[in-house]
Amino acid sequence: MKFEAITIKDIAKALHLSVSTVSKALRGSHEISEETKKHVLAYANEHNYKPNPIAQSLKRGLSKSIGVIVCNIDNNFFSAVINGIESVARQKDYNVIITQSQESYEREIANSEHLSSRSVDGLIISLSAETKRVDHLIKLHDKGLPMVFFDRITDEIATHKVIADNFKGAYEGTRHLVQQGFRRIAHITSSSSLSITLERLEGYKKALADAGLTFEEKYIKLCPHGGMIKEETQQALTELLQMKDRPDAIFTASDRLSTTTLSLLRKMQIEVPQQIALVGFTNSISADIFHPSLTAVVQPALEMGQLATDLLIQLIEAKRPVTEFQKRVLDTELQIRDSSLRAK
């Protein structure tokens, strides 16, 4: 089975014109008489002619589509980013092809190779938690494939980048816990190779330092798969809770980590915030109905997606090679709820 559509040739035949005349007429060229144009347009509309985008792509060497690689769609942060990507792409008449790395380095490589080789005009990427080397992307970038990074970025490729103000977000989240009177604040975060991990860690450290609290290495727990593997989070949490100077608060660094931590605490019947407080990065639309409602550092996910797409399309459509690259840092928002409030 295949889908049959009307082509320029069909129109030409029906109207006793040449294909080139029809082609020009359809695109409103000045060299075609008004009358001919009218005929052609009328016939095209009537028969619902749509140019074959594949043929156009082959001709132009551009596919009018952009590829997206995120770790996982099933995550409020990334789905909101994709929402943003989609809206801008649609408006500029680009298709969006979404792929997931599932935090796997292998799959990230496979996806990037699949998406490249002419089938997309550019790439929007957030690195997987497992990714430590970006040679696969450097190779594509060197060959001229435009790309924009967001959220989990790399310094090794010179191109546009869009991130939230991770330092500030983490700083504010941690400072809030300090202000509430918590003193032993743990930090559960992702793979140490991710840019966001470092930035958020720095914000956390600074907030402690500014409050005169000493930073304790033992309170930092890494989850190399960013919460995709529940056991990692379980393990991190268990270790924290077994310490003799057990933390009185936790600051989690990502969407999945935040919800998983809350879920695990609940299973262990540990009361939040009475026994341990919690603040986390999350874009969950349900943070207000969690038990307890979750104090959240929220990223402007939609805007990040929109901006990344704008920047990518600029790169794709640039007449001359772009040499000045932007690193856009958008503000986060701290939404204070019950999970971080000091019991009176």
Site of interaction with DNA (CB under 7 A): 7-9, 16-21, 23-24, 26-27, 30-36, 51-52, 55-56, 58-61
> Which of DNA, a second copy, none lies near 79, with the C-beta cut-off 5 to 8 A by kind?
a second copy
Task: Give the nearer residue to a second copy in terms of CB position, either 245 or 333.
Answer: 333
For 164, the enclosing helix (H) or strand (E) is: strand 161-164
The separation between CA 83 and the C-alpha centre of its own chain, rounded to angstroms, equals 10
Cα–Cα–Cα angle for 302, 96, 159, rounded to 5 degrees: 70
Beta carbons within 8 Å of 255's beta carbon, 6+ residues apart:
75, 76, 77, 227, 280, 281, 282, 283, 284
Distances (CA, A) of 121 to 127, 153, 192, 317: 19, 20, 31, 10
Calpha distance 86→106 (Å, rounded): 26
Task: Give the nearer residue to DNA in terms of CB position, either 51 or 224.
Answer: 51
Calpha distance 285→218 (Å, rounded): 32
> Cβ 287 to a second copy, closest distance in Å?
9
> Which of DNA, a second copy, none lies near 20, with the C-beta cut-off 5 to 8 A by kind?
DNA
Q: Which spans of this chain sit near a second copy (rule: CB under 8 A)?
A: 1-5, 50-55, 57-58, 61-63, 65, 73-76, 79-80, 82-83, 86, 90, 95-100, 113, 116-119, 121, 143-146, 259, 262-263, 266, 284-286, 288-293, 315-316, 318, 321-322
> Cβ 126 to a second copy, closest distance in Å?
15
> Cβ 96 to a second copy, closest distance in Å?
7
Joined tokens for residue 265: 């605490």
Task: Give the nearer residue to a second copy in terms of CB position, either 62 or 211.
Answer: 62
